[in-house]
Structure 1
Amino acid sequence: MTEIHTPRLLLRRWDEDDDLVPMAEINADPEVMRWIGDGSVRDLERTAEDIERWEEEWDEEGFGLFAVELLASGELIGFVGLSVPGFLPEVLPAVEIGWRLGTPFWGQGYASEAAQAVLEFALTDRGLDRVISIARIGNDPSENVMRKLGMVPDRVTKHPVYGHPLRVHAIDLTEYQA
């Protein structure tokens, strides 16, 4: 089983029995979801489908979205991980690093801490040469995490379904190692 430990966090595979309800609560928060897709919240059933899809990506790709829990309490705070951004065909083939944390966990450095560990996992353990991250323009906190990771703007485009502007950031292995 793939796990990553950071000073404050455990990144691990999903356990639907334990993780479904807390992740569904995160997905039901309009503040969390406002930058994702069309901004719609997700219910328990949709979250169960998401977790199933995330686990399938682990099996198919050898990487995926990690469930993130606080080491101190064991509480699930959201996800950070890797995925293939199929919704944006113009960047393919690519692997994206992304995150979604519950609002009580914003502004404490958890996203940056976990994302740095996942970026290292992607480039050193999984042998990827390049990783991207995609944010809706205006989502400054996510773009700040991208900058902390050493990512640089790669292009501006539009979401192919919803039409809102997106900025793609990228980092390659040589930039990461520098």
Structure 2
Amino acid sequence: MVATLLRTRRLVLRPLELADVPRLAEVFADPETSRWLGRDLSRPEVVREWAEERTSASYPEGMGYLTFLLDGVVIGYGHLRPSHELPAPAVEIGWSIGRAHWGLGLAGEAARALLEHGFEGLGLPAVWALVRPENEPSLRLAGRLGFVEVASGVHYGAEHRVFVRLGETTPRVGALPRR
């Protein structure tokens, strides 16, 4: 799990805990909020099962699932972890926040913190994102975050567009050495 808290101007990102289940169940009770997650998290028992799977899993140091808190209240979650769908050593990012917080820039703020942690804190050369083609807000956010679409395919049981964001120190193909 991520060893330290990540902080942004408005948010705290901390490791997911089972104590977050009741609030996450409220967030995901809205079917629009959980529609892109590949699992219907609108029922509290499903949220508990989902959280138990994630909190009991083993992740490399500094990676895992995090809860997004605004003024101490859980508004969503995100992850930075090895991908279950892309070839190793791909590290995948994901984010989701409750509808009451859409359009406020909070998902982008949280995702930028995860990216900064991945690139600067963990030294990752690249971070990958899988986004459903119909998920326009996440497609726009991936673009604002500097992700580049590189492929599409069936992942997590549904069609996804595949994006990558290279770290600043990642050598670019065809790049000339600096003199």
Same fold (TM over 0.5): yes
1:81 maps to 2:79: yes
Q: Which has the higher helix share?
A: 1
User: Structure 1: which 5+ residue stretches go unaligned?
Assistant: none
1:99 maps to 2:95: yes
User: Structure 2: which 5+ residue stretches go unaligned?
Assistant: 173-179
Percent identical: 33
Measured after TM superposition, the shift of residue 128 of structure 1 is 1.4
SS of the aligned residue for 1:141 comes to helix
CA distance in 2, matches of 1:74, 1:25: 15
CA distance in 2, matches of 1:127, 1:15: 26
Q: Note if contact 2:40-2:46 (Cα within 8 Å) is conserved in structure 1.
A: no
CA distance in 2, matches of 1:149, 1:31: 23
1:64-111 C-alpha deviation (Å, 9 max, x unpaired) = 1211101xx31110112212331x2x4443111101111001110000
Measured after TM superposition, the shift of residue 25 of structure 1 is 1.7
Residue type at the aligned position of 1:44: P
Q: Note if contact 2:126-2:170 (Cα within 8 Å) is conserved in structure 1.
A: no
Aligned to 2:164: 170
Residue type at the aligned position of 1:173: G
SS of the aligned residue for 2:59 comes to helix
Larger Rg: 2
CA distance in 2, matches of 1:165, 1:81: 20
CA distance in 2, matches of 1:147, 1:130: 15
Aligned to 2:59: 60
Measured after TM superposition, the shift of residue 155 of structure 1 is 0.5
Measured after TM superposition, the shift of residue 174 of structure 1 is 3.1
Instruction: Name which of structure 1's ranges 8-17 and 114-123 shifts more when overlaid on structure 2.
Output: 8-17
Aligned to 2:9: 7
Measured after TM superposition, the shift of residue 175 of structure 1 is 7.1
SS of the aligned residue for 2:78 comes to strand
SS of the aligned residue for 1:138 comes to coil
Aligned to 1:128: 124
Q: Note if contact 1:150-1:176 (Cα within 8 Å) is conserved in structure 2.
A: no
Aligned residues: 169
Aligned to 1:109: 105
Aligned to 2:29: 28
TM-score by length of 2: 0.84
Measured after TM superposition, the shift of residue 42 of structure 1 is 4.1
Measured after TM superposition, the shift of residue 27 of structure 1 is 2.5
Measured after TM superposition, the shift of residue 61 of structure 1 is 1.7
CA distance in 1, matches of 2:145, 2:8: 15
